[in-house]
Structure 1
Amino acid sequence: MGLLSKHWSRIAVTLIPLVFGLLHATGILPIGVVQRLDDIIYDARLRATMPRTLDERIVIVDIDEKSLAEVGHWPWARSRVADLVDELYGQQKIALLGFDIVFAEPDESSGLKHLQQLAQTDLRDQPGFADKLAQLQPSLDYDGLFAKSLERRRVVLGYYLTSDRDGRTSGVLPAPVMGRESLQGRPIAFTTWSGYGSNIARIAGAAPLAGYFNSITDADGVVRSIPLVAEYKGQYYESLALAMFRLLNGLPAVEPGFPRDRLVSRNYQGLESIVLRQGDKTLAIPVDARVATLVPFRGPGGPGAGSFRYVSASDLLAKRVAPETLRGKIVLVGTTAPGLQDVRVTPVAETYPGVEAHANVISGLLDGKIFVKPDYAVGYEVVILILSGLALAFSLPLLSATRAVMVSAAMVALLIGVNVWLYLGGGLVLPLASALTVAITAFALNMSYGYFVESRSKRELANLFGTYVQPELVDEMVKDPLSYSMKATNKELTVMFCDMRGFTKMSESMEPTRLQELLNAVFSRLTDVIQANRGTIDKYMGDCVMAFWGAPVETPNHAHLAVKTALEMSAAVRKINEEHRASGIPEIGIGIGLNTGTMCVGDMGSDIRRSYTVIGDAVNLGSRLEGLSKVYGVDIVVSESTRRLAPEFGWQELDKVRVKGKEQAVGIFYPLGLLQELPKAQTDEVKTWAGLVKAYRAQDWEQCDLMLLNLQRMNAKKYLYELYSDRVASMRLLPFDPAWDGATNFETK
């Protein structure tokens, strides 16, 4: 006791980590870095213990790049999907089929709808046309063909739940598997959604069983778990994997599994499991507090990883797979084609096929090997923290440095050993990072009593921005480092998205090293232009560069500089193309989107990887505008907010658009150059164009025709005038709409 009394201050310091550890464990003061460390530990343990063996029961039919090349771009005609289903059941004799795809819109690719319209209008008096159309209709009704292929077969359709579309819904939901009354009034923390995108009625009616294919993305952007049951408007729906597993087992009923009265979980209000009940038989599937299960990854994922057999959809359609090769298999139809964007960041791979995540869950359910963070994890964490923290706090001050190292190392080894034993022996995923952090920090504080980690110097903080901005701006920042911080803040900025076009085509005929060299050269020249105009490079994404103006260095004329940069980049690309033509290299194109608005700017990301970046609706709009440059045949598209802040330039209004995810229509413009440098002919052309836009929004199609005729005489090669000529021709067929605001809607990103 005398020794403890003598070292009370060191004991108190050593107990500080324990206090913070308990605050974190109980949720009073969650510590993000500790949670991230727990994720890292889980990921490492998962990778180390994966079986890396082939599950022969499950097959993935892959809509891969080969399939897209042979059959055509996605979505395919439903008749082709029907052929695929018939091949799987008719020739291959599979046991069960699931779609990691949603059929959200009717398939009108056969032209049947147009033919029906002709039968009622222009060709209604054509002898025999209606009869012939009636004969052809069954073969041209692709949705009907697909629906027929699904009938009376064991098929589970896929759909998605969403909370980012203002509660919008489409398609038909399947029947819920549970109602709110089954929860006995308990406040279960289900993953809750406000909207959905499901299959059209004809298809949903042919195969009424469906499951959502949503996953849960953790705070670090990694997918580790899938909710088995999720909530939508007080009803509870099952995942694709659970629906397929239930169909395999005769569709048992789904019930909530409440925890038994235990010392630690007696007052727990969540679910311990999802119970499948069929007669007297029950199967309890353990779930975490979000009614989710951790994905039991078998391997690194993909066709060559060896976890599941992948069969190209094109091989099945071309009958290159011998009959009954897949007899009795559970089949999931999904995609690994990069362009279809069904890949996830997972603990085992940065680009992991989404369909294989569901295959892993089905495999785990079949084997009864489901890992879960149990309901009593918090209690376990608190007990472990108290025991290890107190043991170190009262022992380390009494030991020499050597013995303190040995005791601390032994404690860390014991904590890891117990945790791994529970994981491998009981399938329990229990927190470890907080206990390790407390043990290591307690040792460090005890050995370095009175010592605190020095904060970074102000100059180092400013120099950190050198990764993103040119040295000249860093020099400005060093003069007043207190004015700059990587802490996130909301500011009015201008963001640019620049996409270079033509590199994908080059990659087909050019050596990778040569393509890399060429891409780097182009990036370097465009980056020089951005930085010469005080822009901040955000990131490079494939053949796209993202930049912004106004941070970290305050730049009042950020919109002007961004527009000036865009024009100079366009000129730089024209110069590059001149060099390419001289060297026999294919030319490249460019698409730039600019938008100004309030954005959140700061150092963001995970503890593993961070970057100084901007986020927000204004950033998303800038990205959408870049994509619109193709539509309007220009290389630069600028929003109204940017144009308003850059009056020194001459502008040609392109349109008023309503992009995906935005209800408010936005004016978009093309910069012509500095106003004072524009030739009179171009100024006259823009004035005539402004008259056309006014007539277009007034739905005065006769005036539009006159204006377009004049414009095409002024500039016959301009694609924009061709675009509006086609629009006017289409719009004049419609009745006058007094409610039309003149905006063009874009539903794709």
Structure 2
Amino acid sequence: MRRYRKRDLGAVAVVVLVCGVVFASPALDRFAGVSLDILTALRWQAFGLRHDPASAPAVVVAIDEETFRTPPFAGSPSLTWTREIGRVLTAVVDGGAAVVGFDIVFPSSIEQSEIPFGEEPLGTRLRGFDRDFLRALASAAKSDKVVLGEVLHQDRPVRPAAGQRIAVGQQKNIRALNTHADPDDVVRRLPLWFSVGGRPLPSMALELAARALGTAPVREPDGTTVLAGWRVPSAVPGTQTLGFEGGADAVPTYSFADLRACAETGDADFFRRTFGGKVVLFGTLFDIEDRKVTSKRFATGVEAARGARCALPLPAAPAEPPPARSSIAGVYIHATAVNDLLRRTVPHELGRLGTTATALAAAGLAALGAMLLGPGLAVLAVLGLLAAWTAAGTVALQHGLVLPLVGPTLAALTATAGTIGWRLVAADREERFLRRSFALYLSPQVIDRMLEADEPPALGGEMRDVTVFFSDIAGFSSIAETMTPAALVAWMNAYLSEMTDIVEGCGGYVDKYIGDSIVAVFGAPANDPDHARNAVRAALRCRERLAVLNETAAFQGHHLAHRIGLNSGEALVGNIGSRRRFNYTVMSDAVNLASRLEGANKYFGTSIMASEETVSRTGDAFAWRELDAIRVRGRTRPVRILEPIAEAGRVPPEAAARAAVYADGLARFRARDFSGAAEAFGRIAAGDPPAALFEKRARELAAAPPGPDWEPVFTLEGK
């Protein structure tokens, strides 16, 4: 894993801290509410309605477009509707409604009209017109069943007409309808309290919920609200977050025109079935009036009074359904707030501390990914992280918890960009320089080790157990004499490239090229417990690949053979050379023996030869045949040498048979049965150079038997 300096880690920590704090700061609260909007839409798409609309504690009686088209309201100004409103109010209250709230304000009465009508003002001629309405209000107010709405606006509030205020007992049964809009003019919360006449009064929604529960809300000294023993969650002090459902039918809605006709027929049973125990809100449902953009703006539906009918049929469906709008009728804000309070499902938002913690966590994880991964993978990882966080937020909202999206998203993306930028500008600059400088001279493993050490290359090394690979082209000098220098270079590059790819593909490190020779190490610089197996596997694949290349035009008609020597053991591995120039290489007697074994192939006519040290480390991964015990120049101790036939399970039958005959001949030879050995070797000598060599030696010893101090060891006369 890439290691970084303390300077780099400190710089990234600063990036994380800045991103986390900035994107959770109050300066960006204008955009923070978008999280709730997005999650509301996603929750709606993923889970649909959380509650059965039929069980909704609050319902709406809508004065809608149908009402304006239905007699006796068609063509009549709304000021003349009060008597009919009073009739429906009485029917709803008599039907057992828990409480009725008015999201409609009638600030004046037709009885107060001063427009001349004949010799008197119109209001004088219509004196008593609102009497039925006022009586209905007064009757409902006596049992605390009605709450009128008002709109607070500095020193000019929009209040019900004086007669209505008197009928309901003044402020006792009047509550504010004002909403709370965020800086982006989206309604996501509703105030719980207002100051009216210097004293705090509950909002319309809080008042209706409290009356439905038969209790009074309590405002604690710390500003929190307690309703029937339950503390209302409040991220913004004095407000409740609105938990909108999606679509348009979460709050049952009934047409005022149908209810007026129902009251006229005297169908009291319908009112009992429909409104018994409910909180009923009278409000308007138009396309242009009293509409608000809320956190439901991405999950709205086509609104309509689709509740059960009593007297009038449903209006004919339009030829083309109207499109859903991003705004909703204001009455649904209060109905949603009442439902949340009575169900105790007011969403809980994280405070400033929680928002900052999530932003810091998102920035930290994003920065970690950007430090450990490449830029492309880091971006994909961050996008995956954000997708998972969004999914978690959707599920959390289903259970009433609002997780921030915008802050953590911006923090994560910015931290990713900042960390990648720091890596490009500072942290990875030295790494890129080293890789560019040494890519053509050192293996990727060596470069990685230099970078992991976090220090420049220096003289020194360590003892490691490795396998050394030496290869050389047979008859290279004679081939080189027949080629021009340019053709020779191109030919050698093709050969060395093919062999190097195999060596490195098997986990080896090419130490150096010496003319046509390749010196490679397995087990360093990267640790490899299977270095011996990988070295033998590389040697077999090099032999196979060379056989293929010999059949192509790539080698310009030259049929090549190469010799490979393998030996395993302890070796000094590291940077070796002078103070001004050195190489990453290996040194030891194990290295020298591998070189001698490569040369020993020419005596036996073999292409691959390995010492018993290497063979012992490969287990049963390969099939071998023992060639001989030899003594190389510079060593007094003999070494057993073996030839790999093939990987285990892939030995051709004829090769296995030849190896068995060879083993029999070698056993006879070492037992001084030279005639028997010569006979055994002779059976395969025609197609097997090592057997031909031993047949000749056995016949010579049979003709002139050696003394008692003879040992079956072949001493090489050259390198």
TM-score tier, shorter chain, comes to 0.3 to 0.5
The structure with the largest alpha-carbon Rg is 2
Q: TM-score, normalised by structure 1?
A: 0.45
TM-score by length of 2: 0.47
